[in-house]
Chain A
Amino acid sequence: MSVPFGLDPGWLILLKSLVIFVFLVLVTLFTIWLERRIVARMQMRIGPNRVGPFGLVQGLADGVKLALKQDIIPALADRSVFILAPIISATTCFIAFAVIPLGPTVSIFGTWTNLQLTDFPVAVLFVLAIASIGIYGIVLAGWSSGSTYPLLGALRSSAQMISYEIAMGLSLVAVFLYAGSMSTSEIVSAQQNVWYVVLLLPSFVIYATSMVGETNRAPFDLPEAEGELVGGFHTEYSSLKFALFFLAEYINMVTVSALATTLFLGGWRAPAPISTNWEGANSGWWPLVWFVAKLFAFIFVFIWLRGTLPRLRYDQFMKFGWKVLIPVSLVWIVIVATARALRQSANVDSSSLLVVVGVILTILVVLSFVLDAMISRRMPREIEPEPEFDAFAGGFPVPPLPGQKLPTPAASAQTISSTGGDSRG
């Protein structure tokens, strides 16, 4: 049974909006607890375990404490923009969830409706559009603080989010091609037989990488790199305004995870062994369980990344985005589009297509090995000799770097007498 969108009665729209709001806030509280517990476990600590069972209510206690703190607006801040910035961040992050399908058609108080606030032909673009408005919150927060570190954080964040949004948008193109639609509910129903993570694995990998960059999470958390920028864009924020940024970061994490679930992991559909053995797994309220399970799988990966990987250097990070992710996704789109076009118009069946592609790839790989061998035979690789360690370089005693050996005392005395004067200035 399917019901068209846009025909819900008013009370149902209000109810759905309220449920989405409450769901996101509760997920945020739970995720904060989960993150602290998991990261603690990864670092051989215990984590919060005092407030409530297993420390579950710790997030709520911290939230109340944060809200009751003194709210400071710096003297040099641009007041109106300083107040506007966290509001933009917090409101936009809730809006994007409106188009995420949480389940199939269900009956709520006797009215048949879809478990999704709304859907329209460009719903996925809507999520991207809302995300691009959300960047304003971060950028304006940095600018309006009237201080250097937030400004640097904001500049980094805008550059980072614009760059990674391109890779993210490109990774979605293959999904649109296969599903034939940009509407989230239709993309989920197009994955009835096979999930797109299987069919379009490179797209999924690119999306998963860029979603970490898009949400400013470790190892891509350069806008708030505490070692370099104090707190980044929110350095000057306190109390409720800071809490809003905190909330926005976690909800963004939930939203991109939900979008990844919808686009690549079959949305609310039950995973293979369950759906094949149990008829009712994909109807009624059960799909909500699968959806939330997949959502938390992504959130766990986010936390895992944070517990495992060190932060990237900024230029390496940008280079990765522009010189690896974007070209790779462009090439992948061309491959997918060609394969689609061949199958649809030239009537080539998929197995012969795969054989041809496999043969071409093998030839290319063999050619590259042959070329490599020929080049390396012609030009023997020169090994750059390690410069001799100079313990008194420039007249100052310096310790040896890893791999260097301290010279014998006689040799170093000679070095001082020979280089002592000329290297200054």
Chain B
Amino acid sequence: MTAYLATGVATVSAGETFAFWVLAILTVGGAIGMLLSRKAVHSALWIALTMVSLAVVYLINAAPFLSMVQIIVYTGAVMMLFLFVLMLIGVDAADSLVETIKGQRLAAVLVGIGFGLLLLAGVGGLTVNEIKGLDAATSQAGGNLEAVAQLIFGRYVLAFEVTSALLITAAVGAIVYTHRERLVGKPTQAMISRARFTSATAPRSPMPAPGVFANHNAVDTPALLPDGSPALDSVPAPFQVEEARTFTTADGRVITAVYPEGDDK
């Protein structure tokens, strides 16, 4: 698009130029906002803005299918999954700067440089070669959608199938890793209820919800009891970590929660 503008092709209308500058500011602004945000959820929102703006760029450049897929897949599914995880575990602590995968940073820099070169080559090619435009390129197939379909299910069908096999393998792998074999049957709602009411010690009332009266709403933050001490059993078992955690309450007091060790989780 930049090259398109830079070469001064006569077909660029005033409306397209205007749309480009609006979208360019939104896209780049979203990317910068993502880098500068302190909260993880804000970062996710900024990048969602970038994705939607890119989708609009695709739309006005005669690639409607790519645009819709960009929104449905990236904004609607991938980013939503990110948000879901961020909200569920309440990531608001500072990121750890320790490299968990060895050589990850070097690899990231190399791949980044490679991507930059690829981008330069692509954009450079646009300025050298004559621009046909997407409409002209896809008219032979009978439209944008048909052209995409012909390429995916025709020329690139093998790559497409291999990619889908890879994705399915990854999904199955994730399920296998998190799957645990059941030794006994799953208790039904009636069984749980009966067990609770026939036990002498289990509380009859609902368990306290996490985050109530605390300064955070994440599930790993315990609720506060009326005397100001944390209600440890309000945090679901997987989030009851071994080390002591401190929380600030709404009125500024600092609370420390220590879970008893050796608790079966």
- Does the CB pair B72–A148 fall under 8 Å? no
- Does the CB pair A162–B201 fall under 8 Å? no
Q: B59: nearest residue on chain A (CB-CB)?
A: A120
Given contacts A76-B215, A81-B41, A147-B217, are A125 and B200 in contact (CB under 8 A)?
no
A126 to B55, CA, bound (A): 11
Q: B200: nearest residue on chain A (CB-CB)?
A: A424
Q: Mark A374-415, 1 if CB is under 8 A from B, else 0.
A: 000000000000000000011110100000000000000000
Interface size of A by Cβ–Cβ distance < 8 Å?
A: 43
With a CB–CB cut-off of 8 A, which chain B residues contact A140?
A: 41, 45
Q: Mark B77-116, 1 if CB is under 8 A from A, else 0.
A: 1001101100110000000000000000000000000000
- Does the CB pair A122–B76 fall under 8 Å? no
B30 at the interface (CB under 8 A from A): no
With a CB–CB cut-off of 8 A, which chain B residues contact A313?
A: 189
- Which residue in A81, A139, A394 is a CB contact (below 8 Å) of B80? A139
- Which residue in B42, B80, B81, B217 is a CB contact (below 8 Å) of A146? B217
B230 at the interface (CB under 8 A from A): no
- Does the CB pair A162–B80 fall under 8 Å? yes
A151 at the interface (CB under 8 A from B): yes
A136 at the interface (CB under 8 A from B): yes
- Does the CB pair A122–B199 fall under 8 Å? no
A146 to B143, CA, bound (A): 48
A158 at the interface (CB under 8 A from B): yes
Q: For the side of the interface on B, what is the size category?
A: 35 or more
Nearest-Cβ distance from residue B175 to partner chain A, whole angstroms: 12
A162 to B84, CA, bound (A): 11
Q: CB within 8 Å of B: which residues of A?
A: 75-76, 78, 81, 84, 120-122, 125-126, 128-130, 132-133, 135-136, 139-140, 142-143, 145-149, 151, 154-155, 158-159, 162, 165, 182, 313, 393-396, 398, 423-425
- Does the CB pair A158–B80 fall under 8 Å? yes
B209 at the interface (CB under 8 A from A): yes
B68 at the interface (CB under 8 A from A): yes
Best-surrounded residue of A130, A133, A142, A165 (most CB of chain B within 10 A): A133
Nearest-Cβ distance from residue B114 to partner chain A, whole angstroms: 31
- Does the CB pair A155–B88 fall under 8 Å? yes
- Does the CB pair B87–A155 fall under 8 Å? yes
With a CB–CB cut-off of 8 A, which chain B residues contact A125?
A: 65, 68-69, 72
B50 at the interface (CB under 8 A from A): no
A193 to B81, CA, bound (A): 42
- Does the CB pair A132–B41 fall under 8 Å? no
- Does the CB pair A122–B68 fall under 8 Å? yes
A146 to B71, CA, bound (A): 28
A300 to B188, CA, bound (A): 36
- Does the CB pair B75–A133 fall under 8 Å? yes
B197 at the interface (CB under 8 A from A): yes
A78 to B48, CA, bound (A): 18
